[in-house]
Amino acid sequence: MRDAADAEALKPVLPWAAEKSFDGVGEDYKRATVYNNKPAIFYTEEEVSGMSNAFRFALIGKFLESRSNQMTIIQSFANLWLSSFYNIRFMRFGHVFIHLSSIEDMARIWTRGFGV
């Protein structure tokens, strides 16, 4: 009887939430094995290439001293007139992750440097 009460309490309140399900989560994953008495997952070269393809135009910049103001960095990228979409993520310890979507923009940033 307690299980029925728990199920009723966990029933979604919002109508759109009833359509969501976790049934398909976790079906397509690699199983861990053991290597040197530690859990490990091994990937083929093709799998690694496929996963890393999304980051083929990504750069990580490091500031030698303290990181500049975020708005200054964003404005500096706006002044580069990049031809396609880009995303800037600020990381810890003076690093910035720059995700570009074209090789032309990557070449432009690589040759001009990150100096702000």
**Tokens 């570009």 found at:** 100
Span 6-25, pLDDT tens digits: 666 666 666 666 676 666 66
Tokens of 31: 């199983």
User: How many residues are listed for the chain in this entry?
Assistant: 116
Span 25-43, pLDDT tens digits: 667 778 889 999 999 999 9
Written as one letter, the residue type at 62 is: K
Residue 114 has pLDDT above 60, yes or no: no
Tokens of 105: 């923009």
Q: Nearest-CA neighbor of 87 among 101, 75, 73?
A: 101
Domain range list for the chain: 54-112
Average the pLDDT over 92-116 and give the result. Answer: 80
Query: Looking at residue 116, what is its pLDDT?
Result: 44
CB 104 within 8 A of CB 58: no
pTM of the model: 0.58
Highest CATH level, class, for 54-112: alpha beta
